[in-house]
Structure 1
């Protein structure tokens, strides 16, 4: 019945630092749509952005910054991801470590976005 994930919603308390993290550090494209809505676009997916207390309806029952645990697939080798994260002064909480992704074995590093969401950046093969 389900073919793929189209988008998900991230709730933030720190709009500008959140935008800088996802666009500047992770290289996603900031997209505006609808009546003042924003999203981070990458590949064929996007992450819609909601501001805490000003979420769009309908929304999660308890929208909460820092509640996501999100795995993103890297478009570049994981070693290059690690080098870029270090160059940006980011703290890698764990990794690289072996994990299991939707299609099989992956290598991952873990860090936090400005709201404390756990971001896993991974690579197959």
Structure 2
């Protein structure tokens, strides 16, 4: 077997519409509704599916719970622009900007928490020469 990429991830959240609003209005994703009214937000070829904590869908993780996510989203804006957008949206930066090494090399990151407390890293890769 050879894994070729990541299609989606699932976040268990206390309020699905609040999560959809955060990931669309602040982070620029596109809201989706699919099978049985389930909600997701897409970012290009990847998406985040949201499961309500009070009624987790099957199948699900062994211990689903809100606020346990920790993941990185890639952005094409400068870190200054990211910081400005977050400030204008009243979203606190909990760490950064900081240099990190991602799957493809060096990047600059800032960390925020979504409404459920998940740690969201927003990163931009350095230009390669």
Q: TM-score range by the shorter chain?
A: over 0.9
Provide the alpha-carbon RMSD of the alignment: 0.9
Across the two proteins, how many residue pairs are aligned to each other? 125
Structure 1 residue 91 corresponds to structure 2 residue 80 = no
Residue ranges of structure 2 left out of the alignment (5+ in a row): none
Q: After TM superposition, where is structure 1 displaced by more than 3 Å over at least 4 residues in a row?
A: none
Supply the distance in 2 between the matched residues of 1:118 and 1:46 (Cα, whole angstroms). 16
Q: Cα deviations across residues 84-114 of structure 1 (Å, max 9, x unaligned)?
A: 0011111101111001101011100011000
| Offset from partner CA, 1:50-90 (integer Å, 9 cap, x none) | 00021211100111100000100012222111110011111
Q: CA shift at 1:8, angstroms? A: 0.6
Give the distance between the partners of 1:39 and 1:19, measured in 2 at CA: 7
d(CA) in 2 for partners of 1:34 and 1:90?
31
Distance between the aligned counterparts of 1:10 and 1:100, measured in 2? 24
Secondary structure in 1 aligned to 2:84?
A: helix
TM-score (norm 1): 0.96
Gap regions ≥5 residues in structure 1: none
Equivalent position of 2:125 in the other structure = 124
Measure, in 1, the Cα distance between the counterparts of 2:13 and 2:5. Answer: 24
Name the residue aligned to 1:29: 30
Aligned counterpart, 2:17: 16
